[in-house]
Amino acid sequence: MSDAFKTALVRAAISGVVLAGSAFFGALAGDLAVGQHLGALQLETAGIAAGVVFFGNVGLRGGIEGYIDTRAAAAAPPKAA
């Protein structure tokens, strides 16, 4: 795994945590807005939404960005010191 790919995965994981938190608390706020009390079902639904957002972001953004960065780094001529 190249350094560019590792960097892309770290960036995707960090943004994935932020987006997952947003999805989690957004789902909870939506339940509260319609007058539902927080229970196990609401927490489970919010957790599933957060997990989908996190793993989708890491898989898509990290994978695609890492692939593109790795190919660009391999195609670029080495820099002269």
Q: Structural domain boundaries of the chain?
A: 3-74
Can you tell me the distance from the alpha carbon of 14 to that of 1, in angstroms, rounded to the nearest whole number? 19
- Name residue 14's amino acid: I
Instruction: Give the pLDDT confidence of 11-70 residue by residue, as tens digits.
Output: 999 999 999 999 999 998 988 887 778 888 889 999 999 999 999 999 999 889 888 988
pTM over 0.85: no
Per-residue confidence (pLDDT) for residue 81, from 0 to 100: 64
- Of residues 75, 47, 61, the one with CA closest to residue 12: 61
